[in-house]
């Protein structure tokens, strides 16, 4: 008669517990707000409000989300990882698998795609926050590799779409550049350092500032391409961002 794979269950429980600790480290390290930077998907993506989806998923686990910023989402992910670990220990594989799948969806669809670029940009714009922001970014990338939230698979996206969604029409107006969908996160701190102000439309209208913005997207495209090569578990996201940044670079340069 087949026996239960005790070692496999134990290994899975340990892996989930380790991941829970990583999520808690992210939650503790990243304050809800850094200066003029808001850490939330709706503020970074701008064209999507995830509130109903997040609330529904949290309610399934009797978990309350005080807001939808990164620390709160990281605590929710940590709770799911802890629930998985305990379920393996109690020999409840069905509950463990459900916690794993819900966490994988949470990480891939509600956290990694915006939080990694946001943390990357915060660390580049604020020297005093660089170590903390980039450490949290690296932890998220490690988790994403483990969960394989967005591997770079040929034909995985529908025609006209990438890992983020529809790719056309492509515009370079203010709202588009303010969205991560343009290919990078554009913070007020970035604009101030480049133009002395935070008016995106004014920056676009100025030839020199427009050239600077084009260069910013060119650099970002190379950075995302390199990240895709180094992190296969989330490569589809960074490959898509690289392509979007390259298109924005070309459009800004063309005037």
Residues 98 and 192 in one domain: no
Give me the pLDDT at residue 81, please.
97
Number of domains in the chain: 2
In a domain, 24, yes or no: yes
User: What is the rounded CA–CA span in Å between residue 96 and residue 17?
Assistant: 12
- 211 and 124 inside one domain: no
How high is the pLDDT of residue 155?
A: 57
Q: Tell me what pLDDT residue 3 has.
A: 45
- On whether both 113 and 206 belong to a single domain, the answer is no
Inside any domain, residue 46:
yes
Q: Does residue 63 fall inside a structural domain? A: yes
Interval 28-58: pLDDT, tens? 888 766 655 667 898 898 888 888 889 999 9
Tokens linked to 26: 């992210």
Burial of 39 (0-12, 13-18, 19+ CB in 10 A): buried
In this structure, are 188 and 133 located in the same domain? no
Tokens describing residue 255: 């005037």
Q: Are residues 121 and 180 in the same domain?
A: no
Predicted model pTM: 0.91
**DSSP classification of residue 32:** S
**For the segment 67-117, what is each residue's pLDDT rounded down to a tens digit?**
899 999 999 999 999 999 999 999 999 999 999 999 999 999 999 999 999
Asked if the peptide bond before residue 169 counts as cis, ω within 30 degrees of 0, the response is yes
Instruction: Please give the structure tokens belonging to residue 78.
Output: 């940590």
What is the percent of the chain where pLDDT is above 90?
62
Cα(100)–Cα(182) distance, integer angstroms: 31
**151 — pLDDT class (breaks 50, 70, 90):** very high
Structural domain boundaries enclosing 127? 6-147
**What is the pLDDT at residue 50?**
85
Please tell me the predicted confidence (pLDDT) of residue 166.
87
pLDDT at residue 197 is higher than 90: no
């Amino acid at each position: 008669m087949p026996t239960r794979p005790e070692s496999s269950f134990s290994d899975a429980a340990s892996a989930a517990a380790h991941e829970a600790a990583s999520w808690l480290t992210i939650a503790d390290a990243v304050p809800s707000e850094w200066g003029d930077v808001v850490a939330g998907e709706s503020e970074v993506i701008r064209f999507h409000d995830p509130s109903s989806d997040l609330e529904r998923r949290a309610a399934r686990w009797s978990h309350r989300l005080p807001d939808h910023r990164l620390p709160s989402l990281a605590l929710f992910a940590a709770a799911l990882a802890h629930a998985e670990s305990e379920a393996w220990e109690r020999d409840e594989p069905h509950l463990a698998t459900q916690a794993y799948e819900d966490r994988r969806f949470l990480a891939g669809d509600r956290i990694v795609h915006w939080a990694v670029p946001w943390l990357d940009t915060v660390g580049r714009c604020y020297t005093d926050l660089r170590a903390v922001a980039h450490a949290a970014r690296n932890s998220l990338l490690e988790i994403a590799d483990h969960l394989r939230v967005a591997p770079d698979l040929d034909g995985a996206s529908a025609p006209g779409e990438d890992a983020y969604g529809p790719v056309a029409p492509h515009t370079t107006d203010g709202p588009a550049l303010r969205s991560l969908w343009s290919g990078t996160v554009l913070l007020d701190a970035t604009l101030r350092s480049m133009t002395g102000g935070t008016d995106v439309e004014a920056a676009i209208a100025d030839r020199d500032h427009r050239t600077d913005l084009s260069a910013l997207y060119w650099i970002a495209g190379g950075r995302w391409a390199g990240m895709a090569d180094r992190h296969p578990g989330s490569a589809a996201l960074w490959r898509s961002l690289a392509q979007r940044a390259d298109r924005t670079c070309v459009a800004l340069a063309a005037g």
